[in-house]
Amino acid sequence: MPQHLVWLRTDLRLLDNPALFSAAESGHVTALFLLTPAQWEAHGIAAKKIAFILRSLDTISEQLAERGIETKIILSNRFDDAAHRVLEVAKAIQASRVFWNEEIAINEQRRDDAVANSLSNAGIQVERHHAFTSLPPGSVRKPDASPYSVFTPFKRRWISLSIDRGIHTFPAPKGQGPTVAAAKAPDTVGGIAKTLGSEDWPAGEREALKLLDRFIDSAVNDYDSQRDLPDLAGTSKLSPHLAAGTLSANHCIKAAYVRNGHRLSGGNPNIDTWISELVWREFYNHILAEHPRLAMGRAFKPETDALPWYHSSEQLERWQRGETGFPFVDAGMRQLNATGWMHNRLRMVTAQFLAKHLFLDWRLGEAYFMSQLVDGDFAANNGGWQWSASTGTDAVPYFRIFNPVRQAERFDPQGTFVRRMIPELAEASPKQTLEPWKFGGVGGYPEPMIDLGAARDRTLAIWKQAKAT
């Protein structure tokens, strides 16, 4: 039987893993994972996400070992080392083919091309699959074959293609022999302990599937009404698993499709809304594939690269610490700093506050989020930040500016979430959690760092000037 090597990356799962399934169907499989701490650091990956990946790596290694599949975990440090490392392992096991699932960002694409060239030069075949999004990048296009840049028409086309194609997932790979010893990721990589965040974020495919089942069975029924309320557990909390690949987007979409009476729209409005959120993830990854410059710090709308962003390290640091004096903003930032995760409504509020009210460069916020998020996904994070800053795909012009006080009135009117996240306001009344400065200050909580109205007017004036030139 031919020897095959499967190179695992953001696909640490058995189910719906086309590279792993295909390799096991036609040969004897060995799995490989490359630890790249220097590259993770260069990409600003959060410590909690790295720890989550390491724990997920342990679980996939155990699952594979139960099927007689050995996993090799090797230190590679940077992407530049990958071509040598993968070739070395492929030769050692006498692999005739190496399989992997594609990744989308440009550095990952360049790495994969270098690995493919190295293997081909050595006479080893390469088989590349797609698994990070449900529909492959480049497959959802306008009738004239150009890419979409606005979400709603993209979603309509995505739904149409998905229905035509059918929603299929790959089963787990078949076993290939007796149980083998499971590999273990190091307890510490690049100074990051594998246990970091383990209480908040249980890792691995089995945990992901349990979360998905619980959400689909019950919580999804209130998703449309509760997803914007940060004091409730109204979201799926699956995003870390999607980012690490312990669960596929396709698997989630199929589960929602079945639960929705075999519909992707026009069914239960709660499930329709969750499907729409999954399609947003698809959209941003397709956008990244079409526009590699987004991975180079460039704006989706090139003309906005010339905006005269303000520079204030003091304001940036206060925003990062959650000490802006605006409770809803600060509650979101403190949730991020404490848990490695932030409610989606608050991601928009905090991002707009930085990019619109403070008029600080959105790239600073994008990088800070990535440095903290256990669910950091470059395309989704970049897309969300550029949407908030009006430099991205948002169809609404620059004058969309969320007022954090009005947002709190709508989504945390009793101050429940604010009191939970901000100890200084733990005893505050609902009205005090909205605008504590109007009550002479509460519990030592800081004064507002800006005047919202004046900041809004200033930002609009800058944008109007930029649009006129």
Looking up residue 25, the CATH number of its domain turns out to be 3.40.50.620
**Is residue 149 one of the residues assigned to a domain?**
yes
pLDDT at 449 (0 to 100):
97
Closest CA to 35 of 156, 258, 232, 194: 194
Say yes or no to pLDDT of 357 above 80. yes
The answer to whether residues 104 and 248 belong to one domain is: no
Look up 362 and say whether it is catalytic.
Answer: yes
pLDDT tens by residue, 292-347: 999 999 999 999 999 999 999 999 999 999 999 999 999 999 999 999 999 999 99
- Give helix then strand counts, H and E, for the chain: 20, 7
Range of the domain at 154: 133-168+205-290
pLDDT at 441 (0 to 100):
86
pLDDT at 469 (0 to 100):
76
**Is residue 176 one of the residues assigned to a domain?**
no
The answer to whether residues 145 and 283 belong to one domain is: yes
Q: Which of 7, 158, 362, 387 is catalytic?
A: 362
Q: Which of 7, 100, 274, 280 is catalytic?
A: 280
Look up 366 and say whether it is catalytic.
Answer: no
CA atoms within 13 A on the CB side of 384: 26
**Is residue 192 one of the residues assigned to a domain?**
no
Instruction: Judge whether 205 and 248 are in contact, CB under 8 Å.
Output: no
Say yes or no to pLDDT of 399 above 90. no
Percentage above 90 pLDDT, the chain = 96
pLDDT at 397 (0 to 100):
76
Query: 458 is written with which tokens?
Result: 């200033």
pLDDT at 467 (0 to 100):
86
Say yes or no to pLDDT of 422 above 80. yes
pLDDT at 380 (0 to 100):
97
The answer to whether residues 85 and 125 belong to one domain is: yes
pLDDT at 44 (0 to 100):
97
**Is residue 425 one of the residues assigned to a domain?**
yes
Q: Which of 41, 127, 277, 435 is catalytic?
A: 277
Q: Which of 100, 341, 385, 387 is catalytic?
A: 385
Look up 280 and say whether it is catalytic.
Answer: yes
pLDDT tens by residue, 191-218: 999 999 999 999 999 999 999 999 999 8
Tally of domains in the chain: 3
Say yes or no to pLDDT of 462 above 90. yes
Can you tell me the distance from the alpha carbon of 287 to that of 150, in angstroms, rounded to the nearest whole number?
Answer: 10
The answer to whether residues 39 and 112 belong to one domain is: yes
What are the strands, taking DSSP E only, across 215-348?
A: none
Q: Which of 62, 66, 107, 309 is catalytic?
A: 309
pLDDT at 218 (0 to 100):
87
- Pick from 247, 269, 290: which residue ends a domain? 290
**φ and ψ of 421, to 5 deg:** -95, -20
pLDDT at 396 (0 to 100):
75
Look up 277 and say whether it is catalytic.
Answer: yes
The answer to whether residues 321 and 442 belong to one domain is: yes
What string of DSSP letters covers 111-161?
HHHHHHHHHHHTT-EEEEE--SSSSPTTSSB-TTSPBP-SHHHHHHHHHHH
Q: Which of 41, 344, 409, 424 is catalytic?
A: 344
Average pLDDT (433-459) is 95
pLDDT at 209 (0 to 100):
98
Average pLDDT (86-90) is 98
